[in-house]
Amino acid sequence: MKTNLKILIVGSKSRIIHLNHFSHELEKFGIECKVIMDTDFLEKSLSLNLKKKIAPNKKLKILLNTFEPNIVLLDKISRIGKIFLDEKIPLFLLLRGNYWEELEWAKKTIYKSPLKFFPVLKNQKLADRIFKESSMIMPISEYLKKEVEMRYSKNKIAVLSVDGRDLSDWIQVESQKLTHPCVGLVQGLNIWGKTRELDTLQDVMRKLPNVTFYLAGDGIYRDKIIPKLKKFKNFVWMGNLEYPNEVKKFFSSIDVYLLLSGLEGLGQSVIESMLMKKPVIASNIGGIPEIVIDGETGFLANLGDSDQIVHLINDLLSKPDLVKKITTKAEENVKMNYSWKSITKKFLDILEKTHFK
C-alpha cells in the first residue's frame, strides 16, 4: 500500500454518519482521511450574490492545498466532482443507485416541464463526464456493476458495498408502543420508481386486517401514496424518524420488516433490520437478492404479488422457529459482509490492484 496516502471523502448530509465510520476504519490502516459534505463547498445555484458563489470554491481550494489528497472518494453524483476532475485529482466514484433509471423516472414526473428539464440536461452532461473520467467506479452491488458496464465498459469498475454498519451499535433498544402483530416499512418517498411499489400494500392490508402496518419515511411523492394508504384502519404513517436512534427503536419494535420497492441499488434498511434480528420480506428487484437470499436470510417477493406477500407475512407471524432460523442466518451474513472492517479490507484490495500501491 502506498505510504502517506490521503483520501478526501465527500458525501451528502444523510451519509456523513456512515462515511465517518468508514474513515475511522481506514485510519486504522494508516490512511489519513478527511470527510466533508459536498453542500458545504458548493455555491447555491440560484444565488445572485457573487461573493456567495465564489466563497465555497475558494474554501475548497484552500482545503485541497492544505490537505493535498491523493484520492477523492465521491459518494454521489455531485457538481463538486467537476472541481476534482479539473484539479486532476484521481476520483473514485461510489454508485449507490441506478442513476439512469432514476433519471428516467424523474423526467416522467417532476421534470416534465421544459423549464425544469433544462438543468437536468446540464446535470446529465456533468454526470457523464464524472463517469467517464473517474479513475474508478465502485457500484455497491453486482446489479449496479452490470448497469455501469453497459454504459462505461472502458472504465475501471469494482464492486464495493459501502453500506457498512457499526455492529456493536445496531442492537435491540427500548421498544416503541406499537400494536401487534405488526409489519414495519422504512423507505424514502423521493423516487417514484421506488415508491410506486407501495401501491401493492393496499391489497396486502386489505387481506390482513388484523395486522398493523407502520410506514416510516417521507418525500416529494407522499401525496401520491400516503392518502391512499391512510384509508386503511390498519395503517400508520410515522413520517421521518430521527436517524439512527428512532430508527433503531422502530426496528426493535416491529415483528416483520417489509421493503416494497420498484428500484433498489442494494437495500440499506434491509441490512439494518437483519442486524436487529427482524425477519425480512423484500421486493425481488435490483441488488436486493444479493442481501436477501430467498428462504435463507429472508424472503423475496415478486413485484405486485400481494398474495405472495400475505402468505409470507402469515408464515413469519405464526412460525417462531422459522423466524429464528432466518434471522440467525441473516445476522451472520450481514456481520460477515457489511462490517466496516470487512468493507475497508475490500477497498484496500481495490487500491492494491490499481496504481495506488
pLDDT digits (tens, 9 = 90+) for 226-284: 999 999 999 999 999 999 999 999 999 999 999 999 989 998 999 999 999 999 999 99
59 against 189, higher pLDDT: 189
Residue at 82 is within a domain: yes
323 within 8 A of 299, measured Cβ to Cβ: no
User: Residue 66: is its pLDDT beyond 90?
Assistant: yes
- Domain hosting 222: range is 182-337
Residues 333, 192 share a domain: yes
pLDDT digits (tens, 9 = 90+) for 91-148: 999 999 898 888 888 777 766 665 555 556 667 888 899 999 999 999 999 999 999 9
Query: Whose CA is closest to 286, among 299, 271, 303?
Result: 303
Residues 309, 259 share a domain: yes
Residue at 299 is within a domain: yes
Cell of 22: 468508514
Estimate to the nearest angstrom the gap between the alpha carbon of 115 and the chain centroid. Answer: 29
Residue at 76 is within a domain: yes
pLDDT at 18: 92
Residues 48, 193 share a domain: no
Query: Whose CA is closest to 298, among 272, 338, 270, 262?
Result: 270
Cell of 217: 419515511
7 within 8 A of 67, measured Cβ to Cβ: no
287 within 8 A of 141, measured Cβ to Cβ: yes
As for how many domains the chain has, the answer is 2
The lowest-confidence range among 44-48, 267-271, 294-298, 304-308 is: 44-48
The CATH number of the domain where 327 resides is what?
3.40.50.2000
Share of the chain above pLDDT 70, in %: 91
- pTM score of the predicted model: 0.90
Residue at 176 is within a domain: no
Residues 138, 260 share a domain: no
Q: Which amino acid is residue 155, in one-letter code?
A: N
Omega before 244 cis (within 30°)? yes
Distances (CA, A) of 42 to 14, 34, 55: 17, 17, 9
Q: Using DSSP, how many helices (H) and how many strands (E) does the chain show?
A: 14, 11
pLDDT at 306: 97
79 against 197, higher pLDDT: 197
Residue at 172 is within a domain: no
